[in-house]
C-alpha cells in the first residue's frame, strides 16, 4: 500500500498551489526543449492545483537554492525537475538542502536501489552513482519502493528525464486532487478593440472568475478566444452571460464548456 505525506492527503479541502523549477543549462541554451514544465502545468491543472510559477534555472547551486527558499514559502508544493543525477552539474539536492538549512545524508533505501540496478549488469555502482542517494536530511521516500518520490518538507524533487519525471509527478499528483477548475470558452470573430471596455467591466463585476482574452493573428476561424474560469461553474456561467449580453450581434462564433 502506498504511503503518502499527510499534508498531501489533506490538500483536497482547498485549492492547492504549486510552483515548478525546471533545472538545466540545456534548456536555457535551447539544446533541449523543455517537456517537463508544460507537462507539469497540464497535470497539476487537471488535478485542481493552481500553478503560481514556472521557472527555468541553470545548473548552479546558488540560484537554485535562492529560488527554492523564495518559492516554497509562497505555495503549498514546490516541484523541482532535474539535477538529481550523478554528474558534476547535478546540484539540485544540495541546493534544496542549503535552502532548507539542512545537511546532506545518504538515504540507505536509495543507495540499495542504486546498487541493485548496477548489480543487474554485474558490477558494484561507482562512487559517483551513489551520490544520487545523498539527499537533504529528513527527506521522505513516498510511493513505489523501487522508484520512490523524494519529498522534504513541501519540496518534491523529481528527475529530469521526461519519462521518469512524468511517472513520478503522476504518482504524486494523485494525492493532490482538489475540486476541478470549470472552464468556458467563447470564440469571437471580432478583434479585441471591439469589446475590450465591456470585458473590463465584466471582469470587474465578477472578480471570482479568471477571465482571459487571447487574440489570433493567423488563418484560424476566430479572431479572439475569451476564457472564463473558476472552481464554481455557476459563477463562470454568470460572468459569461454578462459578457454575451454586451457583445455585438454576430460576434460569437461558438462556445465550449463548462
| Per-residue pLDDT reduced to its tens digit, 147-161 | 999 999 999 999 999
Same domain? For 12 and 131 the reply is yes
pLDDT tens digits, one per residue of 185-203: 999 999 999 999 999 999 9
- Beta bridge partners, 213, equal 226
1 in a domain, yes or no? Answer: no
Enumerate the H helices of 78-195 as residue ranges.
Answer: 92-99, 108-119, 127-130, 162-173
Neighbours of 117 (CB within 10 A): 12
Same domain? For 156 and 190 the reply is no
pLDDT at 61: 97
pLDDT at 8: 39
Average of per-residue pLDDT across 87-110: 96
73 in a domain, yes or no? Answer: yes
pLDDT at 257: 87
Q: For the domain that residue 203 is a member of, what is the CATH number?
A: 3.30.70.100
169 phi/psi in degrees, rounded to 5: -65, -45
Q: Tell me the Cα Rg of the chain.
A: 22
- 73: pLDDT strictly greater than 90: yes
pLDDT tens digits, one per residue of 1-27: 233 343 433 333 478 999 999 999 999
Instruction: Residue 222: give the domain boundaries.
Output: 182-256
Q: Which three cell numbers stand for residue 131?
A: 551520490
Q: Give the CB-side neighbour count of residue 103, counting CA atoms within 13 A.
A: 3
Backbone dihedral region for residue 193 (phi beyond 0: left; psi -120 to 50: alpha; all else: beta): alpha
Amino acid at each position: 500500500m502506498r504511503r503518502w505525506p499527510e499534508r498531501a492527503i489533506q490538500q483536497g479541502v482547498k485549492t492547492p498551489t504549486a510552483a515548478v523549477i525546471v533545472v538545466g543549462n540545456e534548456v536555457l541554451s535551447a539544446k533541449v526543449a523543455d517537456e517537463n514544465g508544460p507537462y507539469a502545468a497540464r497535470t497539476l491543472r487537471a488535478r485542481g492545483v493552481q500553478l503560481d510559477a514556472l521557472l527555468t534555472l541553470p545548473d548552479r547551486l546558488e540560484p537554485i537554492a535562492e529560488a527554492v527558499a523564495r518559492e516554497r514559502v509562497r505555495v503549498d508544493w514546490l516541484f523541482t525537475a532535474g539535477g538529481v543525477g550523478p554528474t558534476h552539474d547535478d546540484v539540485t539536492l544540495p541546493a534544496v538542502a542549503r535552502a532548507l538549512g539542512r545537511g546532506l545524508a545518504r538515504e540507505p533505501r536509495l543507495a540499495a536501489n542504486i546498487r541493485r540496478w548496477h548489480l543487474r549488469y554485474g558490477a558494484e555502482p561507482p562512487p559517483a552513482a551513489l551520490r544520487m542517494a545523498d539527499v537533504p536530511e529528513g527527506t521522505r521516500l513516498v510511493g513505489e519502493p523501487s522508484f520512490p518520490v523524494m519529498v522534504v518538507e513541501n519540496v518534491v524533487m523529481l528527475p529530469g528525464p521526461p519519462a521518469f519525471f512524468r511517472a513520478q509527478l503522476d504518482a504524486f499528483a494523485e494525492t493532490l486532487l482538489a475540486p476541478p477548475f470549470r472552464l468556458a470558452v467563447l470564440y469571437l470573430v471580432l478583434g479585441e478593440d471591439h469589446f475590450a471596455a465591456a470585458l473590463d467591466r465584466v471582469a470587474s463585476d465578477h472578480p471570482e472568475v479568471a477571465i482571459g482574452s487571447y487574440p489570433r493573428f493567423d488563418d484560424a476561424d476566430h479572431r479572439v478566444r475569451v476564457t472564463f474560469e473558476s472552481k464554481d461553474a455557476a459563477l463562470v456561467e454568470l460572468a459569461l452571460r454578462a459578457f454575451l449580453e454586451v457583445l455585438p450581434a454576430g460576434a460569437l462564433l461558438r462556445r465550449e464548456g463548462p
